[in-house]
Amino acid sequence: MNFKIIGTGSARPACVKTNDDLAEFLDTSDEWIRTRTGIEERHVMQDGESISQLATQAAQAALKNAGTDPKELDFIICSTIRGDYITPSMACIVARNLGVQCMAFDMNAACSGFIYALDCATGYFERGRAQKGLIVSAEAMSKMVDWQDRATCVLFGDAAGAVVLEKGENLLASKLASDGNVEVLNIPHVYGNSPFSSDEHKPSYLFMDGHGVYKFAVNAMATGLAETIAAAGLKQDEVDHVLPHQANMRIIQAAMKKLDIPEDRYRTNIAHYGNTSSACIPVLLDELNQAGMLKRGQILALTAFGGGLTTGAMVIRW
Ligand code: UT7
């Protein structure tokens, strides 16, 4: 016994910034960003918006799509690098906004977070602890990047995606892994003002060695997909939709070349969002669902990599 996805939802800030908008204050260009990454625009939170609000909107949309009353939920798991508070968790704020008191907690597996959360949720169904649950992946990347660093800030955006799960048999295989590494991708913590420490602290901005992550990402995505599809007892060309983490169109294309999955099965929306970390896959899933592209019984393969470094791949039947 594992899970079945019965509803999807997503939310994004109304404010959209194009590459040309960024070129107004950064030494960059639409041409550079488009050709190196495939990104054309991204959604960015503005004054008065919070990531918990966005997470709640995505959750409400998923619950509506599933025809599920929030009171039916047995758990809420949020994947996020950083919610509005260190504590309370984003999941507890979403629970409050939905008016429920079920178990609620956050997990951080960076960009692989949605796949990690789905895998974690499986345990509650297997142990008979849950009939229905909610996963929300929500990321405020615009609050973590250095807007003076053109090599990173142009890549990211803000969004939230959610799914409602119920007991089912639709998870066919999953594989999670980590390769502990602080050097290529990190966001230093916000520190307090202890009078007993004179350590210097770096500002809490995202640091990334783009080349280091790129190399890791192509192999991790291709290997993760190949192994997980085989573990599900399927051939690669039996996959109907591949939902890859949306970090860079070139990474997706390079991984694609290493696999036997026809090119027209890869789904992307990076042009309009950039990299929204763990929200990428559930937002894409919701867009495919709303567009009527997912047919009952079809095979979906999800694959992600991110800070940690973490990787996750999963094969599910729709
Ligand atoms: O989900 C989190 C994981 N993150 C990722 O997956 C990111 C993985 N890495 C990448 O996607 C790519 O490495 C980047 C998109 C970050 C960079 O692309 P690249 O083709 O590897 O460019 P580069 O770092 O080799 O930079 C080439 C040039 C440099 O100038 P010089 O040294 O050749 O004169 C950069 O300074 O491009 C310059 N550059 C830019 N120019 C205009 C870097 N960022 C920009 C920019 N606009 N925004």
Report pLDDT digits (tens) over 87-129: 999 999 999 999 999 999 999 999 999 999 999 999 999 999 9
Q: Which two tokens mark 300?
A: 């979906």
d(CA 41, CA 49): 19
For atom 42 of ligand 1, which residue has the closest CA? 28
DSSP structure string for 237-253: GG-SEEEE--S-HHHHH
Contact 313, 301 (CB under 8 A): yes
CA of 147 to the centre of ligand 1 (A): 15
What pLDDT shows up at residue 200?
81
Q: Assess whether the C-beta atom of 150 lies below 6 angstroms from ligand 1.
A: yes
Q: Which residues contact 35 (CB under 8 A, 6 or more apart)?
A: none
What pLDDT shows up at residue 190?
81
Report pLDDT digits (tens) over 46-93: 999 999 999 999 999 999 999 999 999 999 999 999 999 999 999 999
What pLDDT shows up at residue 198?
84
Ordered by where they begin, the domains of the chain are 2-169 (3.40.47.10), 173-317 (3.40.47.10)
Q: Assess whether the C-beta atom of 217 lies below 6 angstroms from ligand 1.
A: yes
Report pLDDT digits (tens) over 178-191: 999 999 999 998 88
Whether 280 is catalytic: no
Q: Assess whether the C-beta atom of 246 lies below 6 angstroms from ligand 1.
A: no
What pLDDT shows up at residue 173?
98
* CA dihedral sign, ordered 284, 287, 290, 294: negative
d(CA 261, CA 203): 42
CA of 173 to the centre of ligand 1 (A): 34
CB atoms within 10 A of CB 153: 21
What average pLDDT does the segment 202-227 reach? 93
Contact 158, 45 (CB under 8 A): yes
CB atoms within 10 A of CB 254: 17
What pLDDT shows up at residue 252?
97
Whether 245 is catalytic: yes
What percent of the chain has a predicted confidence (pLDDT) above 90?
A: 95
For atom 5 of ligand 1, which residue has the closest CA? 247
CB atoms within 10 A of CB 183: 8
Q: Assess whether the C-beta atom of 151 lies below 6 angstroms from ligand 1.
A: yes
Read off φ and ψ for residue 278, nearest 5 degrees.
-70, -10
CB atoms within 10 A of CB 15: 15
Q: Assess whether the C-beta atom of 157 lies below 6 angstroms from ligand 1.
A: no
What pLDDT shows up at residue 145?
97
Q: Which of 19, 36, 215, 252 to mutate to test the pocket of ligand 1 (most atoms within 8 A of CB)?
A: 36
Phi/psi class of residue 38: alpha, beta or left (left: φ > 0; alpha: ψ in -120 to 50)? left
What pLDDT shows up at residue 194?
86
CA of 151 to the centre of ligand 1 (A): 5
Helix axes 51-66, 90-98, angle to 10 degrees: 50
List the single range of 32-36, 87-91, 215-219, 296-300 with lowest mean pLDDT.
Answer: 215-219
Q: With helix as H, strand as E and coil as C, how does 132-154 read?
A: EEEEEEEEEHHHCCCCCCHHHHC
Give the pLDDT band (50/70/90) at residue 276: very high
Tell whether the model's pLDDT for residue 202 goes beyond 90.
no
d(CA 176, CA 159): 23
How much is the pTM?
0.97
User: Whole-number mean pLDDT of the chain?
Assistant: 96
Whether 275 is catalytic: yes
What average pLDDT does the segment 19-40 reach? 98
CA of 210 to the centre of ligand 1 (A): 6
List the single range of 99-108, 153-162, 203-212, 301-310 with lowest mean pLDDT.
Answer: 203-212
